[in-house]
Amino acid sequence: MGVMIEGVWHAEEPASGSADDGKYRRSVSAFRNWVTPDGAPGGEGCAGGFAAEAGRYHLYVALNCPWAHRTMIVRVLKGLEDVVSLDAVLPRRSAEGWIFAAPPEANSDSLLGSHALHKIYAAADTAFSGRVTVPVLWDKKRRTIVSNESSEIIRMLNSAFDDVGANGADLYPTELRGDIDRVNERVYRSVNNGVYRAGFARSQEAYEEAFDELFEALDMLEARLATRRYLCGDMPSEADWRLFPTLMRFDVAYFGAFKCNLRRIQDYPNLWGYVRELYQMQGIAATCDLDVYKQGYYSISELRNPLGIVPKGPAVDFSTPHGRRNVNDGIGQSAAVS
């Protein structure tokens, strides 16, 4: 996957010194500043000076990446398309990691003209060491990366830009934050990251542990959605939009490429109706591309797909009637999150 060491890109990663138990461990995001309405520091250890301004910030995403997808969704839901600009890298990584097409083609870097995402990391920090990941929130004024942590970027997009062009939708309402946080924690470990823990496992034991946790969590979510239309509250919240990208990719990518093959999302009546309803909400379908997901997840991998053959199927139609309008808003009646 490649890594940067002191500002220089290395296609081959150095050997890890961690214990080899076969378990996949996601790297910690390196840039953790916050955009706030007035530019005040957004939290402990955060630098100030990142004030919300129309046209100041730029998102770099990969259309096949679920972590980047959540930022694309919140950008649309908050009506920020003309406030925060966006570029997408190509879905297949190369020896230089995430790369762009040459301008003026689609998937080019319209802002800095870079050919690879690692150049943008180097522009932000000439001594940067670590993984080069998407999404990236870039500050055009200070010419640096604000954040590459998707969970924090979506919170910024949700709350910081209300006075500079965003609509009033609130995906993280105060009264639901405790419930949203509990759902997020379980969904992150067992579903969002769970598919990667299964797909990148290096031992049978690690794979089976992740596999079992994943399908236990999907069973829990299926039960929860039997009595409530959305995960938390009576409107889609951050919790729903953090789960949605994984569900969108599941049947066309994770089921086969990551061996998450006990059941498809289409085999869960409530989850299947739920993901179709979210997909059919205004602006969401335009953020989705099943063919791109397959190109990304079935790209050449020495361990998982050495020939890089991309499957033609399966056929998945998210546009059929979802049947969720009569589901009760059963607050407190659904499966507990543990």
Q: Three-state SS for 123?
A: helix
196 catalytic residue (yes or no): yes
Structure-token pair, residue 102: 């040459």
3-state helix, strand, coil in the chain (%, to 5): 35, 10, 50
From the number of C-beta atoms within 10 Å of its C-beta (0-12, 13-18, 19+), residue 23 rates as middle
**86 contacts 59 by C-beta, under 8 angstroms:** yes
**187 contacts 180 by C-beta, under 8 angstroms:** no
d(CA 131, CA 124) in angstroms, rounded, equals 14
172 catalytic residue (yes or no): no
**335 contacts 220 by C-beta, under 8 angstroms:** yes
d(CA 95, CA 100) in angstroms, rounded, equals 13
Element (H, E) at 66: helix 66-77
Amino acid at 91: P
**297 contacts 308 by C-beta, under 8 angstroms:** no
Q: Which of 60, 65, 232, 268 is catalytic?
A: 65
Structure-token pair, residue 19: 């214990």
**172 contacts 240 by C-beta, under 8 angstroms:** no
Q: Which of 196, 254, 293, 297 is catalytic?
A: 196
d(CA 271, CA 283) in angstroms, rounded, equals 20
User: Which residues share a beta bridge with 94?
Assistant: 97
User: Which residues share a beta bridge with 97?
Assistant: 94
Q: Catalogue the active-site residues.
A: 65, 196
